[in-house]
Amino acid sequence: MLGKERAWEVLRQADIIHDAPVIDAAVTRVAEEVNAALAEREPLVLAIMGGGVVFAGQLLPQLRFPLEFDFIHVTRYRGGMQGGQVSWPVAPHVPVAGRSVLVIDDILDEGATLAAVRERFLADGAASFHSAVLCEKDLGRTKPIRADFVGVVVPDRYVFGCGMDVHGAWRNLPAIYAVASS
C-alpha cells in the first residue's frame, strides 16, 4: 500500500482518462450488449477479484436475465505494476462444465490472464466462454485474446480507478486515471 500521503500525491499528479459519466455510459452500453448476446443462455457469471468487483457491481444490476454468479481470483500482478506468472488463489466454486461462462474483469492489458482463464474453462468443459472488461489497453499490438464486450479503451499507461489499483490504493475511484509520466 502506498500510504495515505503518497496515495493522495499520486492522485493529484494523475491524468484523468475517463470521467465517471463516461464510465457509467460505458457500463450501460456493455450491459445492453450482454443482454442481447446472453439473455437466453442463463450463464455462469464470474467476476475476477479484486479488480473486476467494481465493474461487476455496476454491470450485474443491469443484466435482465437469470444468471448464476460467483467469483475467481486469478492474477499476474500481486500488488506490483508489472505482470508475472498467472496464479489462481481462488478457482471457481461452481463447475463450469456444460455452462456458458461470462467472465467480468477490470482491464484487458496484455491479455495473458484472461487468455489463461479462457483456456482453463474451455479445458474444464465450458460450453462457451465470453468476457466483459471495463477497459482495454491500447497496446498497438495483437493480444492472445479479445474481449467480447469492452467498456472503454485506455492508452498504454498505468491506469487506476474503477477497480484497478496503484500499489493497492484507489480501486474505489469512479473514474479512470493514469499515473503521471515521469
Active-site residue list: 109
Q: How many beta carbons lie within 10 A of that of residue 80, not counting itself?
A: 9
Query: How far out from the chain centre does Cα 45 lie?
Result: 13
- Beta-carbon neighbour count of residue 172 at 10 Å? 10
Residue 160's SS3 state is: strand
Contact assessment for residue 152 and residue 132, using Cβ atoms and an 8 Å cutoff: no
DSSP-assigned letter for residue 166: B
46 touches 103 (CB < 8 A): yes
Identity (one letter) of the amino acid at 22?
A: V
User: Using an 8 Å Cβ cutoff, are 107 and 93 in contact?
Assistant: no
Residues in the chain: 182
